[in-house]
Amino acid sequence: MLLFTACSDKKKQQATVQMKSDAKYTCPMHPQILEDHPGNCPICGMTLVKKSGQASEGSGISLNTVLQPVNSTVISTVTAITPEQREIATTISAQGYLDFDARMFNNIASQYSGRIEKLYIKYAFQEIHAGERIFDIYSPDIVTAQQDLIYLVKNSPAETGLINAAKQKLLLLGMTNTQVSQIMQNGKAFYSLPVYSPYEGHVHDMPHSQMGGASKDQPSTDFANNLPLSIKEGMYVEKGQNLFNIVNPHMLWAIIKITSSSVLDIALHQPVSISLTDQPGRVLRGEVNFIEPVLEDGDKTTSIRVYLDNMDHKLKVNSLVSAEIQTGVTGGLWVPLSAITDLGRTHIIWLKQGPVYHAHQVSTGITNGDEIQVVKGLTATDSLASNAQYLTDSESFTKTKGDE
């Protein structure tokens, strides 16, 4: 009995050894490789797996799976992810530049016809303040009106009606109450009348045809250059003629160019973040204050304006800026851009089913940074490859289930 049992155990051990020696191992990518022991593929280095019908020792991969065409199915250990269901802020990126705020423009016009005797501002961008003397002017009309008042005060002091009319005429011509009172007290006319600025800001030149200024063939002086003004001492000016443009630099516009495809997403009061190319790290906050109702010739873009505070005078006109305009929020499934492969007319992802990835067609929505919205063909519980391009065979056509 003991001898029979020992022989039986020996036969079982021999059968087990024979079963192990008969086991065949193959490469998932190169099925022509057959080995009787585990190891690595001599061609690609992948781990060998047991052939179909044998114990896989936890691999879970059948030969039928391995032999599927690589343009629709891939066996890989690439990282798998799941889509994220959430709402994100959608933005539009655009470029633009800084410009003067036209609401801060104020013109100084001559209130008299005459000759400029003395000019106290000499160059563009010269800073002036309200009440500052800017030029003296000799005006024959003003001198005559002053002499009429002086004559009435001296010779007809009882004619208060005529005197008040003469005073009112000088006030309407632009003289101040202080100047009129001084004329009546001293009995002397101002032959060179001082003119004061009612505004505060920087002086910009005004084009004047009679001063050799702007024309179609000769453009006006570029106020971006710190050049002498067109107005000179000794020049004759007409009543009502604009002499200077005073710009308050405390407010600027950011002019942002919006492409025609993005115009419909722009609305008033949307938040805007502005980055300055000449001041890295500085971000200005504002909102869409104005949308121009026309497309510009040539580039067919629409401009929007963002009003900016420049009290510290650190913002420079014509500086280039980059803007991020927040247009709202959009919900849906979001995946990294790397998880989508663009085949032209279609987009595919690689869905994970066990150890295998299958090509699957999806429909995409908007792109936000390095993420893209998937609107069709994917659920929140699906698992997909994080890098779709890595799994795509560059030497064949990728096919989905319906051979799309």
Domains of the chain and any CATH numbers? 2-59 (no CATH), 75-88+330-391 (2.40.420.20), 92-101+249-328 (2.40.30.170), 106-247 (no CATH)
Q: Quick one: pLDDT at residue 303?
A: 92
User: Is 146:272 a contact under the CB 8 Å cutoff?
Assistant: no
Enter the pTM of the model.
Answer: 0.59
Phi/psi of residue 13, nearest 5 degrees? -65, -40
CB 256 within 8 A of CB 325: yes
Q: What is the DSSP letter of 228?
A: B
34-49 tens-digit pLDDT: 888 888 888 887 888 8
Choose among 393, 348, 352, 355: nearest CA to 64. Answer: 355
Helix axes 160-173, 140-155, angle to 10 degrees: 160
- Alpha-carbon distance 374 to 130, whole Å? 60
Which pLDDT value is given to residue 204?
A: 78
**Which stretches of the chain score pLDDT less than 70?**
1-23, 52-72, 75-76, 205-227, 390-404
Digit-coded pLDDT (tens) for 139-189: 888 899 999 999 998 888 888 899 999 999 888 887 888 889 988 888 888
Kind of pairing between the strands at 347-353 and 341-342:
antiparallel
pLDDT value at residue 322: 94
